[in-house]
Amino acid sequence: MSLLPTPPPSLRTIPATSAASSTVALRPVVILPGLGNNTGDYKDMAMTLREGYGIPSMVARVSRVDWLRHAAALLSPGFWKGSLRPRPLIDWFCTVLAALTLFTATAEWQYLERVAEAVAEAKLLLEDGGSISLVGHSAGGWLARIYMEEFGMSRISLLLTLGSPHLPPPKGLPGVIDQTRGLLDYIEKNCAPAVYTPELKYICIAGRYIQGAPLFGNSNDPSCDPMLVGEELNKIKLPAKYSNDKSLLSAPSLHARFVGQSYKQVCGQADVWGDGVVPEVSAHLEGALNISLDGVYHSPVGSDGTIRPWFGSASVLKRWVHHLLT
């Protein structure tokens, strides 16, 4: 099923763009961290935008400890029913945790308010008629959509998402559990649909770092362990009758099978391409300008910027930054 809008066309490769002229008033950028990430994870990305392209950039104030407070969702009946809602949930579990004194200053941890603070700071930089861009990484992408629904879209002209799982997983498939416990269903039904217009542009960027694979292969021979695949086959002595079987030597690696299970939880399929965490098909939205970038890993955590670059690595950022310059 294609999720690409017509127009605009889907893009596979993005040309590099140099910094914009200093005479152009650039939109300030607010970066929304993904689940489990903190503000510091995006320091290099924000610095590249500022120093390399002259784009004023700030990151919503989030720490890793803040994300642990979401464990309170386990106390919500909606978690077990798969019907969580963003704003009522946030207000509810902040109150409960404060009452239980499990964390200090818990009521201050509300992701959307942290985003609102960063947006307000960005708006101070605007000239008359200016606007800002939201750049959401991973869960920050769909949390940006909630923010725009809850706080409004005043002075926001661009939402660009990086490896964000926008679509709820298909229902009724064995072994597939909605990791957001209903939040993506809520967003799909209640948040404004994606658009690509001169006034407001949605741009969804997916990474193609690794193709997943089913957990088990199709070998019918019981002497062949399905978990010994890819390069690991070179470490064992195969029976003579299998020594020339090239299909075994080209079998998916254990990494691909592991990643495939992650993809399956998100989109219902294991053998699809993705960024190592989020499948390509889930990171696109109907109505948006959808882009896929080859060789791009999901997270700043675990990325080395060269062999495993993530969306915000300088070498990758230059492939999409021109969308912030126009």
Digit-coded pLDDT (tens) for 88-121: 444 433 333 333 333 333 333 488 999 999 999 9
Distance of CA 218 to the CA centre of its chain: 32
Kindly state whether residue 109 falls inside one of the protein's structural domains: yes
Q: Taking the model in full, what pTM does it have?
A: 0.75
- 3 state SS of 151: helix
Q: Are 271 and 261 in contact (CB under 8 A)?
A: no
CATH number for 152: 3.40.50
Query: For residue 155, what are its two tokens?
Result: 């002075």
Amino acid code (one letter) for 275: D
Query: For residue 52, what are its two tokens?
Result: 């390399």
* Beta-ladder partners of 158: 133, 201
Query: For residue 174, what are its two tokens?
Result: 């064995």
Identify the CA nearest to 83 among candidates 171, 175, 152, 3.
171
Kindly state whether residue 14 falls inside one of the protein's structural domains: no
pLDDT confidence bin for 4, thresholds 50/70/90: very low
Distance CA 163, CA 183 (A): 17
Give the domain range for residue 37.
Answer: 29-206+281-294+312-324
The reply to whether omega before 8 is within 30° of 0 (cis) is yes
Read off the pLDDT of residues 121-176 as tens digits, 9 standing for 90 and up. 999 999 888 999 999 999 999 999 999 999 999 999 999 999 999 998 888 777 77
Kindly state whether residue 24 falls inside one of the protein's structural domains: no
Kindly state whether residue 276 falls inside one of the protein's structural domains: no
The overall longest dimension of the chain from CA atoms, in Å, is 76
Read off the pLDDT of residues 285-323 as tens digits, 9 standing for 90 and up. 999 999 999 999 999 999 988 889 999 999 999 999 999
- Percent of residues, the chain, with pLDDT higher than 90: 51
**Complete DSSP assignment for 291-312:** EEEET-BS-STT--SSSS-BTT
Does residue 60 carry a pLDDT above 90? yes
Residue whose entry in the numeric block shows the structure tokens 């902040």 = 94
Kindly state whether residue 172 falls inside one of the protein's structural domains: yes
- Give how many domains the chain has, as a whole number: 1
* Beta-ladder partners of 161: 136, 204
Q: What is the DSSP letter of 57?
A: E
Q: Are 202 and 195 in contact (CB under 8 A)?
A: yes
* Beta-ladder partners of 203: 160, 289
Mean pLDDT of the chain: 76
